[in-house]
Amino acid sequence: MSYHIFNNKFIFICDFMIECRNISKGKAEGELIVSSEAISFLGGVDPETGVVIDPNHELKGQSIKDKVLFIPGGKGSTVGSYVIFQMMKNNTAPKAIICLKAEPIIATGAIMSDIPMVDSPSSVDELVNGQMVEVDSDNGKITLL
């Protein structure tokens, strides 16, 4: 809950929170970028730029750098974990990751890279492109800002 002062009165604002499961600890906020398709970081994302390069992916040409990435899950080679780590080293990684169902490739990459990651959100209808959110993996919640 947050508050604002208006005409010398406190006005409380209730933030909308979504419960989820903690995968990789941490807290980050940013703009959501949403995909209905799983993503492969190996060959699907350019670690130098953070741009999705998979020609068949719906996010092709879009940057996930400094965004909160919401995807169903990951796919592809286990080397994808190291691509996520390289993105973190290059400052091209997402700020946080939300998955419908976490799988070992992206979970390992997020843990190695200290990227907050959650899965199994209790509600997904509010998680749309452009929505500002805070991912608080320490407490298992996503807050719409």
Contact, 88 vs 117, CB < 8 A?
Answer: no
Residue 82's pLDDT is what? 97
How many other CB atoms are there within 10 angstroms of residue 139's CB atom? 12
List the catalytic residues: 77
Length of the chain: 145
Q: What mean pLDDT comes out for the span 78-93? A: 97
Q: What mean pLDDT comes out for the span 67-77? A: 95
Q: Which residues of 50-81 are buried (b: 16+ CB within 10 A; e: fewer)?
A: bbbebeebebeeebbbebbbbbebbbbeeebb
The single residue listed with the structure tokens 């965004």 is 67
Distance CA 27, CA 19 (A): 14
Residue 63's pLDDT is what? 98
Residue 4's pLDDT band (boundaries 50, 70, 90)? very low
Q: Is the pLDDT of residue 9 over 80?
A: no
- Smallest CA-to-CA distance from 69 within 117, 108, 26, 125 is with 117
Q: What mean pLDDT comes out for the span 129-133? A: 96
Domains of the chain: 16-144 (3.50.30.10)
Q: Is the pLDDT of residue 8 over 80?
A: no
Distance CA 53, CA 58 (A): 10
* pTM of the model as a whole: 0.90
